[in-house]
Amino acid sequence: MRAHPLLKLVAQRLALGLGTLLVVSVLIFIGTQLLPGDLAQAILGQSATPEAVANIRAELGLDRPAHIRYLDWLFGFLRGDFGMSLANKQPIAEMIAGRLTNTLFLAGVAAFVAVPVAVSLGILAARFRETWIDKTISIVTLAAISMPEFFIGYLLIYIFAVKLLVAPSLASIYPGMALPEKLGAVALPVATLSLVVIAHMMRMTRAAIVNVMASPYIEMAELKGLSRWRITVRHALPNALSPIINVVVLNLAYLVVGVVVVEVVFVYPGMGQLMVDHVAKRDVPVVQTCGMIFAATYILLNMTADILSILANPRLRHPK
């Protein structure tokens, strides 16, 4: 009995995602091992004796073969055992719990702002295609996406924090902080992330709606005298949702992983800032854990986008 092509493609995407995550785990492990300097020497300082360095290497398991250390780390990660931080001797799971929540909060607020704005601008650009409205939206959004995140972040800090004094330059949040205060604190980081992802989602929304607007049933609706707005929103948009959903999910993946630069610019207490801080300390277990969490999130959301695209294909849902 042949498997349904839809189930077969979904299974292939799942297998590809798991394989990609395995390859990424190898690259993360190799990359952390290639960090300059000796970890044991960095922990003990330059004045440490060779015997003390050898002892700490044995204590940390650095004297074991690399493939054994990789397998121990990988299986520990799969069990949820992230190990201990070398910098402060705390369990890594406890360190990242709050930081991960902060990163997801920042990405979530950015998505809550960016997705409706991008889709609305895409609909507006499609409705007034080839007019000054369409061209203005395209120019502004493409100009925003052409600038790197750190430049946009510093520009927003200069304008709104330094000159206008209407927003804080540092995005400081803490446990128990009221939601309105949190939203005020992350206003500039959210604006930075939103400006980066809006253009891509807007262009895909516009292209998908314009493509559907060329369909015969849209011409029939126009001949019936329906308003242009009703045709665009009620008839074109629902049939253009598949590519729009796909690009939205892909940009959500970027929002979660791409916060590293933004968190550093605004000194935001999230996963990205934690990883950068511990790279400087050469705290390898923390860096490995943060890298794997970012990679797993990105791969999972990309895989979700692929599967949603497959499920939205009527030829696969209803094969002959």
Q: Does any domain span residue 217?
A: yes
- Does the pLDDT of residue 231 top 50, yes or no? yes
Instruction: Please choose, from the candidates 268, 271, 274, 261, the residue with its C-alpha nearest in 3D space to the C-alpha of residue 297.
Output: 271
pLDDT bin (cut points 50, 70, 90) of residue 287 is confident
Convert the pLDDT of each residue in 180-189 to its tens digit: 888 888 899 9
User: Is residue 52 domain-resident?
Assistant: no
pLDDT in tens, 93-131: 888 888 888 888 998 899 899 889 988 888 888 888 888
Interior/surface letters 137-152, b for 16+ CB within 10 angstroms, e for the rest: bbeebeebbeeebeeb
The answer to whether residue 152 is domain-embedded is yes
Tell me if 51 is assigned to some domain. no
Give mean pLDDT, residues 146-157.
Answer: 87
What is the count of structural domains for the chain? 1
Distance, in Å, from the CA atom of 136 to the CA atom of 299, rounded to the nearest integer, reads 34
pLDDT tens column, 167-217: 888 888 888 888 888 888 889 999 998 888 888 888 888 888 888 777 777
Answer yes or no: is 110 within a domain: yes
pTM reported for the whole predicted model: 0.81
Q: What's the mean pLDDT when you consider all of the chain?
A: 80
- 19 inside domain: no
Residue 148 falls inside a structural domain: yes
Residue type, 168: P
Per-residue confidence (pLDDT) for residue 60, from 0 to 100: 67
* 314 part of a folded domain: no
Q: Which domain holds residue 178?
A: 98-298
Confidence class for position 48, pLDDT limits 50, 70, 90: low
Beta carbons of 10 and 57 less than 8 angstroms apart: no
Please determine, for residue 5, whether its predicted confidence score (pLDDT) is greater than 70: no
Spatial distance between the Cα atoms of 148 and 76, rounded to a whole number of angstroms: 36
The CATH number covering residue 189 comes to: 1.10.3720.10
